Amino acid sequence: MSLIRADLESLPAYVPGRAVPGAIKLASNEVPLPPPPAVLAAIAEAAANANRYPDLAVSALTARLADALGVAAERIAVGCGSVSLCQQLVQITCRETSDEVMFAWRSFEAYPIVTQIGAATARTVPLTSDFRHDLDAMAAAVTPNTRLIFVCSPNNPTGTAVTRAEFERFLAAVGPDVLVALDEAYHEYVTDPDVVDGTTLLDAHPNLVVLRTFSKAYRLAGLRVGYAVGAPDVVLALRKVCSPFSVSSVAQAGAIAALDHAAELLASCAEVVSERTRVRDALLTAGYTVPPTQANFVWLPLGERSTAFATHCLERKVIVRPFAADGVRVTVSTPEENDAFLDAAASFAG
């Protein structure tokens, strides 16, 4: 008799972006700049007390986020990155293998992983032909067993975003008995005013929870800190299933300092937005299909040519992220690194 759950043999592995010495890494949607000096100083100061346990309740960071977002602290749960919060959402909503977690596909690759770890059933709905969430189809696919729905906007890896109007229609169609998680990891890069901001809908929809992270625009991917904003009962449940002390003292201090220097950090998002427009325009001119993106990456739906394209780029010292036979995601970086990628893309004949 096996001591291990048999279904874990089929658990899909999370595939991180590769790192190759001497190559430009455009595979993980990382920000190329380090945190500002003041944030690094706060991190170093916290590290000096590494012999002490972190604040279990993450009190100071929660209060700081509550002030920044204009919500009560009881509506915020901090986790070890937003991926951890995704898994916690499955834990608080699903009890039986018949319980369903729905998400679009292709979307964030962690969703099927956390669903299977939670012993729930994944229900996927294909993206539209223009690589967007088909919210009408998702609403129609809800069953009595649906417990949780993930909506990633901007969507990873396609970069497409959900509008406020269509998301409100979706929430109305789904109804109040299913928890809907709006994953806004790339919120700070959104420039389209029609794109939904989930925090503005929380009062009207107690079954909505919004996920955000410090990994992207705030340049703290290595510290693993994210947060959820939702109804107090949902947040309390998330806190109950959080692994104790999973948000380190260094992460808490770094996130607080990042919020203190948010103006400086978020100002650099405008540079990314400018570069993503330039990169997408160049790819379109070169004959590639590239959907409009509201994130810090672009998506090339290359199908069966995806692996060949990634190999071609790697041979030119540029690392991109292929997704099976669907496409390739490429991080928007500095002008110089983006130019290196565009040169590689221009010479691809596959």
Is pLDDT at 1 greater than 70 in this prediction? no
CATH code of the region 6-33+268-346: 3.90.1150.10
Mean pLDDT, the chain, whole residue set:
96
**Domains in the chain: boundaries:** 6-33+268-346, 37-261
123 vs 133, 199, 289, CA distance in Å?
Answer: 14, 26, 28
Q: pTM for the full model? A: 0.96
pLDDT the model gives residue 76: 98
Fill in the DSSP letter of residue 90: H
Alpha helices in 198-288 (DSSP H): 232-241, 249-260, 262-267, 269-285
Fill in the DSSP letter of residue 190: -
- Helices 37-47 and 249-260 pack at an angle, to 10 degrees, of 160
pLDDT (tens digit per residue) in 62-108: 999 999 999 999 999 999 999 999 999 999 999 999 999 999 999 99
pLDDT (tens digit per residue) in 156-199: 999 999 999 999 999 999 999 999 999 999 999 999 999 999 99
pLDDT (tens digit per residue) in 116-149: 999 999 999 999 999 999 999 999 999 999 999 9
- The domain made up of 37-261 has a fold known as Aspartate Aminotransferase; domain 2 (3.40.640)
110 vs 90, 117, 168, CA distance in Å?
Answer: 12, 10, 25
265 within 8 A of 258, measured Cβ to Cβ: yes
pLDDT the model gives residue 5: 86
